[in-house]
């Protein structure tokens, strides 16, 4: 396994991060027949740790919090706390009522306490805001995050999926007040969605912020020939919204990945991940693992250096897209509705 520092910090992380959204209880409100329960998830945590992965990412809303419960329990069984890096996120609605989500001071302090309880930990290494909150002044959010760090509940803070101007505003607000700065940006980046290359990646490069992309394989679209499907592709509503089945430019990209993979004698997933390491701002793609080969295919990407010609062939078919992946429901403000 290769390791690097996350952004401007001294925090050492593996070049791959295991995303734990795939593990949880579907009865808790997270829909998808592709989810794995605790026992089914256990081999993937073991394999990740044995491969040298020390970086694990989850969120308070994944499967109604059961992702955090599984992540915390299995890591406690299998790993030493001082050797691993645990990241979680807050913003998403945990109950459709005022203050039960978003980035207000009240919501963030509740979210971190609830996450620590589910994880069975006294701190997380990286506490991230899952989305931008238009309802809360950014100064309130940044001061609350700073106080969470100073209280010892989080070691570092990060952000996820917003416009570059919003991220810059948050950083400048923290800098002007002497508060804790974000060290990471978790954004959507893959060969089918490269809009982050326009502003966010250059901003992160200039700021020294580490990039930890989510959906680095476009929710599996880059791991198999065009037109084939899986249980997840058929049931993942978010994936269907992010990546359109009829997009001909996307089809050309997938075909290019398939061609490079065939020439290399490597899985398509390996090539799709290897492309991320052509971007100097990328620290660690967040991989999902629900099948036996997923982690091995991802680790193999670390040993592949794509040539300029291969990279050009993968990137050439891309066509600009409208920004996606930045929205998320906000809690009710005027009334409570039972869902």
Ramachandran quadrant class, 248 (left: phi over 0; alpha: psi -120 to 50; beta: rest): alpha
Residues tagged active-site: 62
Beta strands in the chain (DSSP E): 3-5, 12-14, 17-19, 55-57, 85-90, 124-129, 154-160, 182-186, 210-211, 286-287
Buried b (16+ CB within 10 A) or exposed e, 183-202: bbbbbbbbbbbbbbeeebbe
SS3 143: helix
Alpha carbons 295 and 298: distance in angstroms, whole number: 5
Going by C-alpha positions, the residue among 81, 246, 71, 90 that lies closest to residue 159 is: 90
Q: How far is CA 196 from CA 104, 179, 211, in A?
A: 26, 26, 10
Instruction: Give φ, ψ of 310 to 5 degrees.
Output: -65, -45
Going by C-alpha positions, the residue among 267, 297, 274 that lies closest to residue 216 is: 274
CA atoms within 13 A on the CB side of 245: 9
What length is written for the chain? 339
How big, in percent rounded to 5, are the helix, strand and coil portions of the chain? 45, 15, 40
SS3 160: strand
Buried b (16+ CB within 10 A) or exposed e, 274-302: bbbbebebbbbbbbbbbeeebbebbbbbb
């Amino acid at each position: 396994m290769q390791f690097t520092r996350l952004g401007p910090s001294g925090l050492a992380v593996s070049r791959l991060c295991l995303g734990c959204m795939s593990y949880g209880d579907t009865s808790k409100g997270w829909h998808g027949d592709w989810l794995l329960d605790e026992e089914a998830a256990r081999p993937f945590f073991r394999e990740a740790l044995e491969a040298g992965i020390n970086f694990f990412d989850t969120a308070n809303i994944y499967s109604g919090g059961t992702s955090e419960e599984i992540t915390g329990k299995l890591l406690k069984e299998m790993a030493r706390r001082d050797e691993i890096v645990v990241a979680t996120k807050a913003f998403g609605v945990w109950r459709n009522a005022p203050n039960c989500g978003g980035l207000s001071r009240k919501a963030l302090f509740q979210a971190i306490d609830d996450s620590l309880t589910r994880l069975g930990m006294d701190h997380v290494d990286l506490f991230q805001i899952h989305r931008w909150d238009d309802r809360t002044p950014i100064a309130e959010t940044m001061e609350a995050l700073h106080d969470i760090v100073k209280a010892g509940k989080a070691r570092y803070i990060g952000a996820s999926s917003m416009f570059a101007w919003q991220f810059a505003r948050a950083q400048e607000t923290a800098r002007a007040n002497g508060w804790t700065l974000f060290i990471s940006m978790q954004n959507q980046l893959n060969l089918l969605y490269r809009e982050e290359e326009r502003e966010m990646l250059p901003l992160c490069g200039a700021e020294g912020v580490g990039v930890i992309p989510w959906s680095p394989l476009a929710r599996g679209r880059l791991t198999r020939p065009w037109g084939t499907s899986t249980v997840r592709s058929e049931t993942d509503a978010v994936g269907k919204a992010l990546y359109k089945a009829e997009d001909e430019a996307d089809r050309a990209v997938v075909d290019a990945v398939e061609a490079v993979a065939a020439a290399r004698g490597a899985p398509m997933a390996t090539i799709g991940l290897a492309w991320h390491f052509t971007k100097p701002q990328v620290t660690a793609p967040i991989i999902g693992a629900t099948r036996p080969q997923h982690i091995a295919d991802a680790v193999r990407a670390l040993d592949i250096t794509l040539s300029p010609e291969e990279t050009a062939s993968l990137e050439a078919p891309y066509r600009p897209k409208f920004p996606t992946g930045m929205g998320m429901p906000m809690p009710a403000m005027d009334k409570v509705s039972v869902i």
